Chain A
Amino acid sequence: MATTAHNDHHHKETFVSKYLFSHDHKMISKQFLITGMLMAVIGMIMSTLFRLQLGWQGESFKILNFFLGDKWAPDGILDPNMYLALVTIHGTIMVFFLLTGGLSGTFANLLIPLQIGARDMASGFMNMLSYWFFLASSIIMVSSLFIETGPASGGWTVYPPLSALPQAMPGSGMGMTLWLVSMSLFIVSSLMGGLNYVVTVINLRTKGMTMTRLPLSIWALFVTAILGVLSFPVLFSAALLLIFDRMFGTSFYLSDIHIAGEALERTGGSPILYEHLFWFLGHPEVYIVLLPALGITSEVISTNARKPIFGYRAMIGSILAIAFLSFIVWGHHMFLTGMNPFLGAVFTFTTLLIAIPSAVKAFNYITTLWKGNIRFTPAMLFSIGMVSTFISGGVTGIILADSALDINLHDTYFVVAHFHIVMGLSAVLAMYAGVYHWFPKMYGRMLNRKLGYAHFWTTFVAAYGVFFPQHFLGLAGVPRRYYSNSEFPIFEDFVSLNEMVSIFAIIGALSQFVFMFNFFYSMFRGPKASANPWGSNTLEWTTPVEHVHGNWPGALPEVHRWAYDYSKPGKEEDFVPQTIPLEEGELDGGAGH
């Protein structure tokens, strides 16, 4: 019934309804991807610019002057205020615009309807709004780069009072206001998207698609959406109270402050309240970034190892466990705020618990490769890379979760190395895996494989080259967000290391242009894709190459088995799509057999 009603709505299509105000989840997914990519390029260029300063401190670079002008990079030397601004906006863009909006927006939109066998999202209109709020918020965030006092510069966590008082730093003026407006719109976008994803997965699964037959990508995106819906409103309230403190003279976060020669008459609040509210979102946010990455990796590894994902139910269990735990660990960002040491002990305990489901996931990926039949597509390489960074970055989390050890490592480069590897790299590598894997589904063409290989190896090597050495900086006590270390003789030994990191950063950044070229060239000129180029089981590969509204031209497919019947004994092909009925006496793998 929903089917016919849906098809009737889409008689004619103009350019505007097809490319701009589209309700079609496949188009919205592409819109999210390309917007996310553009934001990522901005975020990446920013990181390269501040890496120039960190690698060669106080040296002059024409390119800094070219991008930032005489005000922020006089004579090609980066201004300390602009350094903080770059760090702040780089973090904001990467965490929210690329790895939340870009990652979930792209793959939840693309995969949820296609993999569960739905014609579209539960609400196409809300889905469209979600993208437009995302775009508006992106535009505001980028526009804040161009105002006179510079963009927000208090770090991506924007702790008050630094962010609440314009007299504390130039970036806390108009730039901070725009940051808050942009983030508020972003949260609205994320909520509209998230609600839609949850409702769609619960209500619109096709016949036979039980929850235990869902591909792990859908499980991951589903749980991610729930996390977002529960935690983003808390960030919204934090932002709202901050707006009140900035504009209406309230004191939610302010007390006992004497700044710019004046004692402020704002008492009774506490900046720690903001930290609690922020990290109550902030920690689930880490998993909002990571879970879709793990979901994509599960699909890509299983498909290309031609082998069922090992421990399907344990994988779902660990996604749920991680999601639950992610809500009761936020205090590990705040061990040193003067919180009750007993509370710190509780947060240490809950945080270390997360290591167990995470370990299960890592071991299950490795077992999936064992005795597989591995095809090294670029997507597969990125997925293997993702498992590697997930482990390398994950294990250092065990150290940082330990409140006693955090005393000396808190806010040092050790933290920078940890979260960039475990969250940043893992999610970015998985996002690339997803793009290489589903590009044929999105654009009906193939990406160039050789360029894919070149892109993977340069990115992967450069990524480790940038972040792995930073552990050593952290162990030497070098604080993060320092414009320069030259004031401290104890950090002198690390000049060569900083230089090496910056060189890797430049290589890594250049390598992304190889991908950009491959992406846009192949979109128009790539070889035509077949319907199921990877020999995959999931439903999206049963749709025609040319996109149609409603996804399947005829009736919706019916599902008879789980998504991982690869190399099943007794079958001629090494894959059995979910739409093939079980033979007599054949057991469904997903049911635990």
Chain B
Amino acid sequence: MVTILVIISIVLAVLAVVQLVRVFESTARLQGGVNPLPTDAENGYQAKMMLVFLFAYLSFFAWLYAEYGDKLLPEAASEHGVGLDTLLGFNFIIIILVMVLTHIFLFYFAFKYVYNKNRKALYFTHSSKLEMIWTIIPAIFLAVIVIYGLSAWIDITIDETPEDAVMIELYPKQFDWTARYGGSDNTLGASNYNMISGTNPLGVITNGSLEQNIADMKAEIVALEEELTTVPAGGIKDEEITELIAKRKRQLAKIESFEGLDAAALAGGDDDVLVKNEFYIPLGQEVSFQFRSRDVIHSAYMPHFRAQMNCVPGMTTQFHFKPTITTEQMREKTQNAEFDYILLCNKICGAAHYNMKMVIKVVELDEYNKWLSEQETFSESITTAEAEGVAEQKSEVDNEISMIEQ
């Protein structure tokens, strides 16, 4: 019923407009033909609207600023971020000035020089002097912006990371993050995506994880070969399982090749710490982030620290900063007891892209060290998982086989 009423009212509205247009046009025809050009009244009205719009536009800007200006990001919580905010403010002053002035000229001229049949426009084709002025003045401003901007950029990106910087790897996948710390030696152990398993989400390579992965892989191959004997030879299933076995064998060869890594590299990962949902960084210490990705491109965005870097599968990227305000201090500053720094994903990565986050806690160094020492290390985590791991691995193989069977 409502639908019918809506349709009827739309039809009536269209008919009304048609009739109105017709009335306009027949009046115009009676008044001696349709003049394609606006009447004096129309010109005058539109000219006034130019001023009205100018006023409305600038007021809208001012209102938005008044209403939402204090709801933007709080002050930067990193050392370089403070400099970036100053740079941003400087650029904003210039562009807002340019934008407001040009708009005043644009709409004021449009208002002032409205059509008058007794007047002729000024035949003014060019002026080298004027054009030089508005090439050179923007060029000077831009030179300042470029020099200022690039010096900030170079400071942030080229500045060498100090030896004692805290090493953290941020590793995204669809749709969550894992943070990995270097542990007591502050060195991230080697890793490879072929090593990824249920108990080793980042593919860290250590003696322990290698042993486990090789054993699991071999067990899987044995299970698959057993399965192969039960299916008729030459069939599709036979072919699929054969292919999978070949693939697993290639993977096994790759994993076994990691045994050739030097002892230091293999030992580096044992004390690594992997955390999810929330990670800590120490106040006043340089934090050096490394980024990889397990599946698609993600982007690690930490807006409060003015920090962002893409996470690209197949390569490692990095970013470093020094946090300057603890979470507690920021809660006081923002008068929001629930405030938390966040890491979010800022490169479209799939359905739950909008919900990929981690909380970042900035704490004093002591507290940070205490927190880190309480976390389970990588070698501990794979040992505890080992017992359950065998059963898990078995069911994984069964799953694979049953998927092929389907």
Contact = CB atoms under 8 A, between A and B. Distances in A.
B120 A259 contact: no
Nearest to A392: B99
A374 interface: yes
A403 B149 contact: yes
Interface in B75-93: 81, 84, 87-88, 91-92
Nearest to B88: A405
A338 B315 contact: yes
Interface in B349-370: 349-355, 357
A438 to B, nearest CB: 13
A350 B338 CA distance: 43
A461 B29 CA distance: 32
A154 interface: yes
B123 A372 contact: no
A364 B338 CA distance: 52
B190 interface: no
A415 to B, nearest CB: 10
A388 B98 contact: no
B317 A568 contact: no
A38 interface: no
A344 B157 contact: yes
A477 B73 contact: yes
A363 B134 contact: yes
Among B37, B73, B94, max chain A CB count under 10 A is at B37
Interface in A347-368: 348-349, 352-353, 355-356, 359-360, 362-367
A407 B125 contact: no
Contacts of A256: 192-193, 292, 313-314
A555 interface: no
B174 A348 contact: no
Contacts of B121: 305-307, 371-373, 566-567, 574
Interface stretch (A123-131, A239-247, A281-289, A486-494): A486-494
Interface of B is mostly: helix
A179 B173 CA distance: 25
A394 to B, nearest CB: 9
A42 interface: no
Contacts of B316: 338
Interface string A432-471: 0000000010000010111101000100110011001100
A321 B38 CA distance: 37
A388 B103 contact: yes
Contacts of B145: 352, 398, 402
A384 B54 CA distance: 12
Contacts of B114: 374, 376
B139 interface: yes
B344 interface: yes
A369 interface: yes
**Which of the listed residues B17, B122, B125, B316 has the most CB atoms from chain A within 10 Å of its own CB?**
B125
B294 A593 contact: no
Given A312-B125, A314-B131, A373-B121, A80 B34 contact: no
B34 A497 contact: no
A96 to B, nearest CB: 18
Given A168-B174, A314-B131, A387 B106 contact: yes
A511 interface: no
A356 B120 contact: no
Nearest to A367: B130
10 closest A-B pairs by beta carbon, nearest first, are A255-B314, A477-B303, A338-B317, A376-B46, A341-B157, A533-B36, A395-B95, A371-B122, A307-B121, A527-B34
Given A312-B125, A366-B102, A527-B29, 12 more contacts: A162-B350, A255-B315, A258-B173, A310-B126, A336-B308, A372-B109, A407-B156, A410-B346, A460-B53, A481-B353, A517-B17, A568-B123
Interface of B: 14, 17-18, 21, 24-25, 28-29, 34, 36-38, 42-43, 46-47, 49-50, 53, 56-57, 60-61, 64, 68-69, 71-73, 81, 84, 87-88, 91-92, 94-96, 98-99, 102-103, 105-107, 109-110, 113-116, 119-127, 130-131, 134-135, 138-139, 142, 145-146, 149-150, 152-154, 156-158, 173-174, 192-194, 196, 203, 247, 250-251, 292, 294-297, 299, 301, 303-304, 306-310, 312-318, 338-340, 342, 344-355, 357
